[in-house]
Structure formats: C-alpha cells, structure tokens
Amino acid sequence: MSYFKVIAAIVKKDILMEVRTKQVINAALVFAVLFVVVFSFTMEIGSNMEQKLSGGIFWVSVAFAGILSFNKTIGSETDNGSFEALMLAPVDKSAVFFGKVISNMLFLFLVEVILIPLFLVFYNVNIIGHPLMAVVIILSTYAYSLIGTLFSIISVRTSSKEIMMPVLFLPFMVPVIIAAVLATNVFILGGQIQFSYNWIKLTAVFDIIFTAIIYGIFSLIIED
C-alpha cells in the first residue's frame, strides 16, 4: 500500500472519529478561547497594547490548545491498544506517524480559524492581515503538530503524561514560537514585510530538518 494512501486512511479515520465525538476540538477550543479572554484582563483598555501582544497571545494559546489536543488524539490510539495494531500492519511505520501529524494539524487549523475572528472581536486586531500570514500559519502549525505528535507518543507511555507533554514540548518549540510571533507582529504592526522573511525561513528550516530526521528514525524508536 502506498505511503500516501496510509496517511489518507489514518486522516480519514481520525476525522470521522472527531466528527462523532468532537472531543479534541471541544477541549482545545474551549481552552484557547478562555486563554484569549482571560488574557485581555492583563491589558489596559485603549492602550493599544492589543496590537503588540496579539501575535504572542495567538501563538501561545495555539501551543497550549495543541498540547491538549495532541494528548487527546494519541489517547484514542492507545485506549484499546490500536497503536500496536497499526504498527503490526504491513505499512511503513512512519506513514502512520505522519498520518497522525496531518490529523493533528487539521484540528489545530480549526482552532485557529475560530480564534482569528475572536481577535477581531475582542482585540480589534486582524491576525490574517497579509497573504503571507497564511504561509506563517501553515509552516508553524505543521511544526507544532510534528513535534507535538512525536512528544505525545512519548509522553503517553510515561507515568504522568500531563506533565511530560508540556515539559518536552514548550522548550523545544521556542524557536518556532519566537518565529511565528515575530512574523505575525510584522503583519499586525504594519512593519516592512521583508522583516518576516527570515522568520518564515527559520520555521521552514525547522520543519524540513525535523521531518527528515523523524522520517529517518521513527521506526527505530518505536519498535520494541
């Protein structure tokens, strides 16, 4: 069976399950929206701080929503041991992994799509003010999902996954968070667009390097 068909089968299954239960979206979305609302209390009204802070609030809330949703999606694989059955199937193990990455990425996109109008309503900030922002969102969300899926597979096997997941995930994602926030700020604050190029490149390099490494060694770290 071809590599991409395996990915497609996993994604299709995950979407079907999510449509049924809505557990990932519910958990992640409620959290992200709460984050955005509660954060507004830290800002002085009418001080224009919203403009400067929105990029940061957006990407940090997506990061935390991600931590929740990655743990949920991996939970559906480990509840009845189905992850083992996937590893037993006559398919490339890393294809199963990238299938989960794509599923997680789609769920995070959904969270982002709902958060963006919220920023417009609450903070009067248009996150997606420039077409290049789409590139930032795609590259950064992929980075979140790639590393998040990997670390969720690891932390689900530890005795306390709720602690392990953020401890592994957040420091590792520092470059991506910095890049995403500062690139977003360029667009929100109306700086010169070329200031965002370096950040986009940095995220792209991050994506390429870690996709290649994980593709190369996934089967080595997952086998018993």
Partner 1 sequence: MNVVLLRKLDKIFSILLFFIIPLGLYFAFIYAPVEKTMGLIQKIFYFHVSSAWVGFFAFFITFLFSILYLVTKKVEYDDLASASAETGLLFCTIVIVTGPLWARPTWGVYWTWDARLTSTLILWFIYVGYIMLRQFMEENQKRAQFSALLGIIGFINVPIVFLSIQWWENTIHPNVVQKGGGGMHEDMFTAMLMCLFMFTVIYIGLVIRKLRIINIERQINYLELE
Partner 2 sequence: MENNSLQQTPLISLKQAVKRYGYMQALKKVDLDIYSGTSVTIFGPNGAGKSTLLKVLSMQCRLSSGELLYNGTPYKKISDDFRHKFGVISHQLYLYSSLSAFENLKFYGSLYGISNPEKKGEELLKQLDLYKRKDDLLRTFSRGMLQRVSIARALIHNPEIIFLDEPYTGLDSLAAQKLSTIIKQQIEENKTVIMVTHDIETGFFQADNLLIMDKGKIVYNRQKSSINIDDFRKEYMSVLGVEAAV
Binding site for partner 2 (CB under 8 A): 1, 5-6, 9, 13, 16-17, 20-21, 76, 79-82, 84-92, 223-224
Instruction: Say which entry of partner 1, partner 2, none residue 43 contacts (CB below 5 to 8 A, set by partner kind).
Output: none
Instruction: Say which entry of partner 2, partner 1, none residue 62 contacts (CB below 5 to 8 A, set by partner kind).
Output: none
Q: Report the nearest approach of partner 1 to the CB of residue 219 (Å).
A: 10
Q: Report the nearest approach of partner 1 to the CB of residue 184 (Å).
A: 13
Which CB, 98 or 199, lies closer to partner 1?
Answer: 199
Q: Report the nearest approach of partner 1 to the CB of residue 200 (Å).
A: 12
DSSP secondary structure string for all residues of the chain? --HHHHHHHHHHHHHHHHHHH-HHHHHHHHHHHHHHHHHGGGS-TTSSHHHHHHHHHHHHHHHHHHHHHHHHHHHHHHTTSHHHHHHHSSS-HHHHHHHHHHHHHHHHHHHHHHHHHHHHHHH---TT-STHHHHHHHHHHHHHHHHHHHHHHHHTTSS-HHHHHHHHHHHHTHHHHHHHHHHHHHHHHT--GGGGHHHHHHHHHHHHHHHHHHHHHHHHHH--
Q: Report the nearest approach of partner 1 to the CB of residue 187 (Å).
A: 14
Which CB, 60 or 86, lies closer to partner 2?
Answer: 86
In the numeric block, the tokens 């590393």 are attached to 147
Contacts of 90 (CB under 8 A, 6+ apart): 1
Which CB, 40 or 92, lies closer to partner 2?
Answer: 92
Which CB, 52 or 93, lies closer to partner 2?
Answer: 93
Instruction: Say which entry of partner 1, partner 2, none residue 157 contacts (CB below 5 to 8 A, set by partner kind).
Output: partner 1
Q: Report the nearest approach of partner 1 to the CB of residue 168 (Å).
A: 4
3-state secondary structure 31-60: HHHHHHHHHHHHCCCCCCHHHHHHHHHHHH
Instruction: Say which entry of partner 1, partner 2, none residue 170 contacts (CB below 5 to 8 A, set by partner kind).
Output: partner 1
Which CB, 45 or 88, lies closer to partner 2?
Answer: 88
Binding site for partner 1 (CB under 8 A): 150, 154-155, 157-160, 163-164, 167-168, 170-172, 174-175, 178-179, 182, 195, 198-199, 202, 205-206, 209-210, 213-214, 217, 220-224
Which CB, 25 or 155, lies closer to partner 1?
Answer: 155
Give the whole-angstrom CA distance, residue 39 versus residue 160.
28
